[in-house]
Amino acid sequence: MRKILVAGNWKLNGSLKMTEDLVNGILDGMSNITTEVAVCPPYPYLAKTTELLAGSAVKCGSQDNSDQVSGAFTGEVSADMIKESGCTYAIVGHSERRSLFGETDTATAQKFAAARKAGLIPILCVGETLEEREKGVTEDVVARQIDAVIDLEGVTALADGVIAYEPVWAIGTGMTASKQQAQDVHAFIRSRIADLDSSVAKKVQILYGGSVKPDNAAELFAEPDIDGGLIGGAALTAESFLGICEAGS
Ligand code: PEP
């Protein structure tokens, strides 16, 4: 039985003060929450966040990681460094990394591999643009993005990670995919993995991301192949983030 995971992606938002207030606000509201919960702040706040979360059920993750271990890669942060900061998860291949920073499927797969090697749980983001959906190639796009990881690491590597299906047209737009649209793609992802390894397919959590809010989370999370959410905007206040966690509890 897969558990529901709700992970907050703070993106480039916050300050030390906001980190403390938001993390403490989440911790204060955890008594009714039975989902798995994670927050993914910017790099400079990871260590502070894991210090605040120590002893709680809430986990911390990064929003990215280098595919490199060390060396002359100015500005990069390795998966080992993220692990050493006390993190559990690492988001890789977010659509903003792909579209704004030119990260390819192969680069994302290499980041997935580096995170996994460091003992982090990679959260692999996949999803189509509006143009791709309208062209009817959603499944091709998502399959290509997942296959890049399978080709590099083998299908069993997916059992060490989490997949987040995030239609690009639904991210930060207020346009959530309908529960049926989301379920259809989640079921496609799971069946594609099952064709290679049914135990991996049964185990891997597949999150939905894209304008999830407290009032639409419950119906999404009730779908058989939706195992939680990757949350952007609504992860920036304790009230809305906890509202989503409660919807999955
Ligand atoms: C995201 O960026 O991963 C995301 C899902 O954002 P939002 O919830 O704001 O659409």
Cα–Cα nearest to 108, from 95, 121, 117? 95
Report CA-CA distances (Å) from 48 to 22, 28, 107.
12, 17, 29
220 lines ligand 1 (CB under 6 A): no
171 lines ligand 1 (CB under 6 A): yes
- Whole-angstrom Cα distance, residue 216 to residue 223? 12
What beta strand segments (E) does 14-120 contain? 36-40, 58-62, 89-92
In the block, which residue shows the tokens 């690491």?
153
Check residue 191 and give its pLDDT: 98
Quote the DSSP letter at residue 178: P
Tokens representing 111? 């980041």
pTM score of the predicted model: 0.98
Check residue 88 and give its pLDDT: 98
Report helix, strand or coil for 164.
Answer: strand
Task: Give 241's contacts (C-beta < 8 A, 6+ positions apart).
Answer: 6, 8, 22, 26, 39, 231, 234, 235
Check residue 232 and give its pLDDT: 97
Using CA positions, which residue lies closest to atom 2 of ligand 1?
232
Catalytic positions, written as ranges: 94, 166
Tell me, in angstroms, the distance from the centre of ligand 1 to residue 13's CA.
13
244 lines ligand 1 (CB under 6 A): no
The one-digit pLDDT tens for each residue of the chain (249 residues) are: 899 999 999 999 999 999 999 999 999 999 999 999 999 999 999 999 999 999 999 999 999 999 999 999 999 999 999 999 999 999 999 999 999 999 999 999 999 999 999 999 999 999 999 999 999 999 999 999 999 999 999 999 999 999 999 999 999 888 889 999 999 999 999 999 999 999 999 999 999 999 999 999 999 999 999 999 999 999 999 999 999 999 999
